[in-house]
Amino acid sequence: MPSIAAPATVLVTAGANGFIGTWICRTFLERGYRVRGAVRSSPKGDYLSKLFKDYGGRFVYYVVEDIVEPGAFHEAVKDVQAVIHTASPAILAPADPQDIIRPALSGTRELINSINICGSEVKRLVFTSSGWTISDTTKPAGTIYTDDDWNTSSVAQVEEKGRDAGGWDIYRASKVLAERTAWEEAKKQNRWDMVAIHPPLTLGPIIHDVSEPSKLNKSIARLYEILSAKEEDLNSEILLLSDFNFGDVRDVALAHLRAAEYEKAGGERFIIANGPYTWQDALDTLPAQYRRPLGTPGSGKSVKKIVFDSTKAQKMLDLSFRSFKETLDDTAFELHSRGWLPIRSESAHV
C-alpha cells in the first residue's frame, strides 16, 4: 500500500486524549500533518485544542461518546488518509470478562466498519496493541519474545475460568482478541492495510490532562506508587518482578508515525521496547534527588528477565530509542514539577 505523507489527515481514535494518544497527536502535528482526535467528551477535546493551539488550526476533535455504537466513527473517518486506533477499555477488575472483552472487540469492528463504509481515502490502519499480546505468562523468565509471538495463555485462562480468571489475564485477553479481530477484518479487503504497534510498560513526560496522581495512566501510576509507597508495603518480590520491559512514550509515538508513513511496514507487527528492567533497577536509576533507600541497590541486575526483541522495529522503522535513564529522568522531573514527587533530603540519598 502507498505510504502517507504530510499534510495528509490522520485520525487518532477515542484514546486521543490519553497518555500515548496525546503524544501521537503531537508527533503527527510536528511533522506537518492534519490531525483529528476522537474523544469521549467535549471537555477532553477542548483540552487538546488548547494544547495544540500553535499548530495552525491543524488539530480538530470529534466527540465519540461510545465506540461500540454502530456508525460511531462514520463522520470522523471521512477524508482521512490514515487511522491510528488507540482506544481499548482498561478495566482491571471487571465483574465479568465480557465487560472488557466485548467493548474491545466491538469498538474495533465498528471502527473498521466505518473505514470500509465512509473512509474511502484511508490507506492504512495503525493499531495500538500491547506487549501483553506478545508475552505469555506461562513462559519462564529469560524468554526472548519477537514480533511473531502471541500470548495464548491469557485467552485460555479466560476461556477456562471465566470471571474467576485474574484481572490482568482478562485485560491481556481483551488486547489479544482485539488485535486478532483487527487482523481478521483487515484481511477481508485490499483497499487499506494494517500495522500493529506493541508498546511495553510506557513511561516519559506527561502532556495529557492529568489533574492529580489518582488520574495518572497505569504505567506512570505504578512508578508513582513505588516512589510514594511506605517502605513496609514494598518487598523484594515486588521490586524484583522480572516481567517488565520499558518504552519511552516519545519513541512509541514516533513508531506510530513511521508505521503510517513507511510503505514497507504494511502487514507487520512491531515491538517498541528498549529493554527489560525491574522496579529495583528503576529506583537505582532515578536521579539522586528523587531516590529512596528501598530494597537492595543493584539486586535487579542479577534477576533473569523476559526480553522484548525490538530489532525489527529499529531496522524497518529507523528508530533509535531513548535510554532507560533519560526516560526515568524525564518522568521523575514531570512528577516533581507537578508537585507530586518531593526532593528527598540528602540523608535519604543512596
The count of structural domains within the chain is 1
Cell of residue 75, nine digits: 463522520
Cell of residue 166, nine digits: 485474574
How far apart are alpha carbons 23 and 39 in whole angstroms? 14
| Cell numbers 528477565: residue | 305
What distances in angstroms separate CA 185 from CA 39, 188, 193, 283, one per listed residue? 24, 5, 10, 43
Task: Say if 4 falls within a structural domain.
Answer: no
**CB under 8 Å to 237, separation ≥6 — which residues?**
none
Determine the pLDDT at residue 17. Answer: 95
Q: What is the DSSP string of 170-218?
A: HHHHHHHHHHHHHHHHHTT-SSSEEEEEE--EEE----S---SGGGS-H
Task: Say if 186 falls within a structural domain.
Answer: yes
- 246 in helix, strand or coil? strand
Q: Give the range of the structural domain holding residue 41, as residue numbers without chain letter.
A: 9-205+245-276+307-322
How far apart are alpha carbons 255 and 312 in whole angstroms? 12
Task: Say if 91 falls within a structural domain.
Answer: yes
Determine the pLDDT at residue 106. Answer: 94
Task: Say if 282 falls within a structural domain.
Answer: no
**CB under 8 Å to 330, separation ≥6 — which residues?**
204, 205
The CATH number assigned to the domain holding 200 equals 3.40.50.720
Determine the pLDDT at residue 15. Answer: 86
Contact present, 141 and 305 (Cβ < 8 Å): yes
Determine the pLDDT at residue 91. Answer: 61
Task: Say if 227 falls within a structural domain.
Answer: no
**CB under 8 Å to 63, separation ≥6 — which residues?**
38, 39, 40, 41, 42, 45
Q: Over the stretch 244-257, which tens digit does the pLDDT of each residue have?
A: 899 999 999 999 99
- 264 in helix, strand or coil? helix
End-to-end CA distance of the chain: 53
How far apart are alpha carbons 7 and 24 in whole angstroms? 15
Task: Say if 100 falls within a structural domain.
Answer: yes
Which residue positions in the chain have pLDDT lower than 70? 1-2, 88-95, 345-350
19 CB burial (10 A radius; 0-12, 13-18, 19+): buried
71 CB burial (10 A radius; 0-12, 13-18, 19+): exposed
**pTM, rounded to two decimals:** 0.95
Determine the pLDDT at residue 25. Answer: 99
Q: What is the DSSP string of 93-118?
A: S-SSTHHHHHHHHHHHHHHHHHHHHH
Task: Say if 270 falls within a structural domain.
Answer: yes
Determine the pLDDT at residue 291. Answer: 84
Q: Over the stretch 188-230, which tens digit does the pLDDT of each residue have?
A: 999 999 999 999 999 999 999 999 999 999 999 999 998 888 7
Determine the pLDDT at residue 349. Answer: 41
Determine the pLDDT at residue 292. Answer: 81
CA 31 to chain CA centroid, Å, is: 21
Contact present, 22 and 208 (Cβ < 8 Å): yes
User: Considering only CA atoms, which of 209, 216, 211 is closest in space to residue 46?
Assistant: 209
Task: Say if 82 falls within a structural domain.
Answer: yes
